[in-house]
Amino acid sequence: MSKGVIYMILSSLAFSLQNVIVKELSYTMSTGEISFFRGFLSALLILALMKAQHVHFSKYDRPTLWFRGVVGGAGMICIFYALRGMPLADVSILSQLSAFFVMIFAAVFLKEVMPRGAALPLVVIVVGACLVVRPWNFSSFNVYSLFVLAQALFAAMAYTTISKLTGSGRHHQYEIVFYFLFCAAVAGAILMGFDFQMPNGKEWLLYAALGVITVVAQIWMTDAYAYGNPVVVSFVAYIAVVFNALWGFVFFDEMLTAMTIMGGICIVGGSMYLTKLKHDRIRNRTIVTVRERKG
């Protein structure tokens, strides 16, 4: 097993544990307060790592960095709201829709041509989302699912922006993550307002664990793509759905419905196929460019 695969499994595990902590805190704490402490404590850790490793803030692309921070923070708050009223597995499954939105954004805003064969997996993903959300059945429809859909939308914006920032080679991963955490903390503080509730001993421990796990998960995810094949690593990331379903059953007595399982298979399967098509297109483009230069 390659280093990249191991790091992605660890990252997925860490992010799933983050969801468990957030859901546990949501029983006694507001979403704004959870977002504030998660962003604030994690941002402090990132600053400490930047100082220890002599990483400095860049003067370039600041509007893009702030945009990434804002959409990332908004997505985090949406997912925290969703965790208050939805099973962990359902949230994890629907959040995979970000791959669908990334493909749409690339076609609409970046003017990239859709890969050949992309239409079928896009339709399959939409069908899967409908099976999980079930908008036709009012009794089973969960309004919190709208927050997950919004999170997937914001995540797609963030991924598109991150691709642009990392492609420039002028920004360290810590810097990009810091903007996201800082914006999340500010947004959380605004939502919290003056309705601050002093955490007790257990809640302080959960907040501290949340801050550490968040940073560790981000670092492991970065290492996964640095050491592993991007396609393989992207596929392995979907193990997060399994982890979330397991923790939902163990800690919160949550059960998967047959429709959620079918919808999850459609979403994850379609997203994996879209990821393969995307990387195949990048690889073919690279091969053509190399041949043209040699010619």
Q: Structure tokens of 42?
A: 């994690």
Alpha-carbon dihedral of residues 15, 75, 43, 41, nearest 10 degrees?
A: -70
253 secondary structure, DSSP code: -
* pLDDT range class, residue 294, cuts 50, 70, 90: low
* pLDDT, average across residues 259-271: 90
User: What pTM value is reported for the model?
Assistant: 0.83
- Over residues 207-255, the pLDDT tens digits come to 999 999 988 988 888 788 778 776 677 788 889 999 999 999 999 999 8
- Over residues 152-204, the pLDDT tens digits come to 899 888 877 876 777 667 888 888 889 999 999 999 999 888 778 889 999 99
Q: Which of 26-40, 113-127, 259-273 has the lowest mean pLDDT?
A: 113-127
Q: Structure tokens of 181?
A: 């955490």
CB 42 within 8 A of CB 208: no
Q: Which of 236, 252, 265 is nearest to 10 (CA)?
A: 236
pLDDT over 90 at 5, yes or no? no
- pLDDT of 115: 73
- pLDDT of 282: 67
